[in-house]
Structure formats: C-alpha cells, structure tokens
Amino acid sequence: MGITRILIANRGEIALRIHRAAHEMGIETVAVHSTADADAMHVRLADHAVCIGPPPAGESYLNHASIISAAEVAGCDAIHPGYGFLSENAKFAEIVEAHDIIWIGPKPEHIRTMGDKVEAKRTAGALGLPLVPGSDGAVRTFEDAKAIAQEIGYPVIIKAASGGGGRGMKVCESEDRLETLMSQAGSEAKSAFGDATVYIEKYLGNPRHIEFQVFGDGNGNGIHLGERDCSLQRRHQKVLEEAPSPVISDEDRTRMGEICAQAMRDMAYRGAGTIEFLWEGGEFYFIEMNTRLQVEHPVTEAITGVDLVREQIRIAAGKPLSVAQDDIEFKGHAIECRINAEDPFTFTPSPGKVTYYHPAGGMHVRVDSGLYAGYSIPPYYDSMIAKLIVYGRNREGCIMRLRRALDEMVVEGVKTNIPLHQELLHQPDILEGDYSIKWLENWLKERETGE
C-alpha cells in the first residue's frame, strides 16, 4: 500500500518537520489548522490546508470529527499525528483505521496498553524490562499501600495510573503521611485525567532520565537507535536533551538497547517508540513508554543518520525497516535546546508578534521552527517555538558549537529562554555531564535566592 497524501494532524515545528519528510519522499501534504494558525509556516508550505475550528485545541486539533472530515474531503490516504494532541489517543487511531485511512503510528492496542501506566508497567515486566520496585498494579486501599511501602522501603512515590506531566504524583517520606498523600494523589488524578487510580513505586533519590529510541515494523522486527539523556527538566518538562548520555557506557547501551529492541519484537510493535528509564547507581528502571515520535528525536537522527519521520512513513506504508541493528553506528554527540517563548527565569509565557528572527546557522547546526519575522505566536498552545540542535565530533566540541549557535540566534518581539540555555552551558556540572533530574530546579532555586 502506497501513501500519496498525508494529513498532518498537528501544528508548529513538528507539522513542518513532517511536511519536509513527506515532500522528500514525493508525498503531498495537507495541513489542518485552527483560525489562530492561519498564517503558520506549515500551513503556508503544505500542498493543501483545511481550517478545522477556532483556537481552543478541544475545538480544533483535538476534534476527531473535524480531522477525519478534513482527511476525507482532501483525499488523504494517511494521517500523521506528530506528538502531543492525538498522537497517543488509541480511540482516535482506531477511528482513523476504521475509515480506511493509514495511521502513521503504533497499533491502537499498543497505544492503549502503554497509555495506562499500571498496565504499561505490567507489560514491561513481562517483556523483560527492569522495573522500579513497587506495587504490581493499582493500589486500592491504604492497608495495601502500607504493606507495599513497608516492603520496598521509604521514601515512596504515589503516581496516577493515567497521569503525566507531574500531576497526581506525591512523594511520601514516612507512613504517617501515606494515607493523606495517597488521597491527594487520587483526587488530583481524578480531576486531571478522570481516573483516580494510583500505584506506588520506590522513590529514587537522584536519578537521571534515560530513554531509548526504538522502532518496529509491526511484523516482529525491531531495533534500537541508542539512548538520549533528558535529565535537565523543570516540573517534569524537558529543557535540554543530548545523545549519547555522558554516563552510559557502550556496554550498557548495547545491553539495554537489545533488551528494548527485543521487547519491540516480542510485541510486534509498529513504528516509532521511546522506552523511558530512571537511571541511578548503574541500574535502569522502566518508568513509561511513549508510543509516538518524541520532541527530542533530532539528536538521535544526528548521531545515527537515520531520518525517523521518513522511517515512520515507510513502515506505515507496509515496508520493512530500512536499517538492521548492525547497520546503525553511533557517531559524535548532539544536543537539543528547546527554545520557548517565555521569560527565561520566571517561565511566564510570552506570546506575541515576532518583529525580527535570525536562526543560527553553520556546519552541523539545525533549527526546527516555523518562526518568521511578522509571525504572531498565539497564546493558546505550548510555548515551544523552536528547537536548536547541534552536532559535534565529541561532547566538548558540541557544547562549544552550541554556545556559538545560541549567541547567534535572535528572536525579537517576545521573550525567549535563550538566556537560560546560555547560562546553563557555562555551569561546571553541565560541562562535566554531572546532573540529574533534580539538578535544574535546584540550580534555579539557588540562582533566585543567591545561596
């Protein structure tokens, strides 16, 4: 089955990224957009564009009926959801396939399984992925929670089964707080996700966030493309990502990568996925799997030379993986900075008109962005406006190039977090690769208080 016209069910830089990959494959694109995005770059460059509703995402980018109607009216034979929005919505994936449209993503059953954190953990354990010690599924009563916490030892973390973004998470240091925090986590989860189910895990004190990029063809073949280190986070939101990780050995990369790839073979997984781990003391602990393309996929592309979006499209069209595991070589180092329209240190969003824009350039510098001078950044969506990706022969050279690229990049008319990245790349811990998922928030607190 061939793909001739793709509807891109997303916006911003990822919509533009998909458009470019499709055009390089000779495939036409259809951009859907809200009224707020009528002048967006991906809309301007697409072969066709369809307005699907007003600015609120629930009335446009999350509107199943509008997107399916646009695909049918525009004669699309495939839909690519990008990331966010509907990319991990199993019901929408099923609706797409029920309309005889190709879903450029994993099988709906895999999206559903990995979207439920309790079921994902159970499945991961069955597939041989190392788990954080904790409850074997949902915890329904305080007595069960107390028994589990006593067994694995405090501190523990209570998590929402359907959660994400840090909501429905509570760290408990001792038994006398367990019942209260369990109730609070359940209430937050119910409010945010409509599901009060929680589970309990051992709380790791100072871990790193390491994720492995995987791919499957849906027929039992699977590969990994190495790991990314995404430990620089604020409120569980990634700020900077790099590949490879400064702390993972070649031996551990090969060992864990093969475990992840084998899991994809056993699942008969289709398309792109990311298996995320916490890493501490040389040990990996599974936390979740994202059944979609990641924001930070370009750093993997930089060190492997594999176009991940192109691979997604090929596999969705029924073709086999274009590379075998033995074909993949990891060369050099890559770092991605997420450029957001926000105050660099208070993180207050800064939508508005871009009066001047000059992207960084030069050898091994990539900017994924839909920005242009005169473009008005709408206030309705995520504040990320660009991704700056830099490659170097080694980590030191990559950082030097990234410093230069950040100095060269100019976005005027709105505030951006470029100054934050510039400061980070002069911190000794960052230069030495010695940081954890708690490092950035601790550093920001120290910077604010002057301690």
The answer to whether 177 is a known catalytic residue is no
Burial 177-206 (b: 16+ CB within 10 A, else e): ebeebbeebbebbbeebebbbbbbbbbbee
Q: At what angle do helices 64-73 and 90-98 cross, to 10 degrees?
A: 30
Q: Which two tokens stand for residue 344?
A: 């660099």
Take residue 206 and report the two structure tokens written for it: 């100072």
User: Which two three-digit tokens encode residue 107?
Assistant: 């099988």
Q: How many CA atoms lie within 13 A of 157 on its CB side?
A: 15
Nearest to 417 by CA among 367, 358, 347, 336: 347
* Both tokens assigned to 209: 């966030």
Query: What is the C-alpha to C-alpha distance for residues 434 and 215, in angstroms, rounded to an integer?
Result: 29
Annotated catalytic residue, options 292, 314, 366, 401: 292
119 touches 113 (CB < 8 A): yes
Helix (H, G, I), strand (E, B) or coil at 209: strand
256, 185 contact by CB (below 8 A): no
Contacts of 310 (CB under 8 A, 6+ apart): 21, 24, 25
What span, in angstroms and rounded, lies between the C-alpha atoms of 122 and 179? 24
What is residue 32's three-state secondary structure? strand
Please name which of 50, 42, 1 lies closest in space to residue 23, comparing C-alpha atoms. 42
Tell me the catalytic residues: 292
